[in-house]
Amino acid sequence: MMNILERLKKIMPKHVQPITINRDEYFAVVEKISREASQKTVELNRQNRLKYLIGRSGISPLHQDCRFENYQAYTADQRAALHQAIAFAKNFGSGFGGFVFSGSCGTGKNHLAAAIGHCLINKGKSVLCITVADLMMRFRSTYEKHAEWSEEALLRELCNVDLLVLDEIGIQHRNSDNTQILINQLVDRRTSHKKPIGMLTNLTGEQISGVLGERVLDRMMMDNGIWVNFNWESYRSKVKCHA
């Protein structure tokens, strides 16, 4: 090994330096490259499992163009919401606190949630945004006679994704208790494994507390979780990415 490196040094221009100067450094570089490749493979497999189980992974086509840069913040409250979302994405991994975006339709909740997702995906993280209705449909499919996946397997995969965002929290306001039980399970499991979860809802704090219970909301706010109120009128007609 040393003979090869010495010969390379002699024929290389003076301004070019080899990545290793001895045997130990060479094998350290090889090990680093191998470890990074292995991590990428693990992440790709995780994304493929999600796509197979849920039918898609990552951000829905409707919000593919939503970024922090094109979020229209006209008021101080909107700018504060934007800054909190950016901070959440920037600090992701330093804690497991989640987020709740609460407000009327068209106020930008989905835009900022998608922007967070895009930012994390670019960092190599796995992200899944799914409506409560879609989530329940997937779980109901596990009860079919020839289902390929069990309820436990699906629950486990949803708990493994780096960030899970549940949209339309509050639809279950008119639904069965099964939905509330499932959301409780997801929140309990993910917070127990220090995995953050996001929620998007049209309900007020009092309403969502009545639907999910104070215990769930307490867990959502653990480890510096954030609650952002989108308490302004809809500006859906003003932006290209629907909220």
Residue 92: per-residue pLDDT: 94
Q: Which of 125, 136, 158, 133 is nearest to 53 (CA)?
A: 158
pLDDT of residue 99: 96
Query: DSSP string of 52-77?
Result: HHHS--BS-GGGTT--STT----SHH
Q: Is 201 helix (H, G, I), strand (E, B) or coil?
A: strand
Please identify every stretch of the chain with a pLDDT value under 50, giving residue numbers as ranges: 1, 53, 241-243
- Residues shown for the chain: 243
Distance from C-alpha of 83 to C-alpha of 99, rounded to nearest angstrom = 13
- For residues 185 and 183, what is the distance between their CA atoms, to the nearest angstrom? 5
Rg of the chain on CA atoms, in Å: 22
Q: What pLDDT, on a 0 to 100 scale, did the predictor assign at position 242? A: 44
pLDDT for 182? 87
Give SS3 for 161: coil
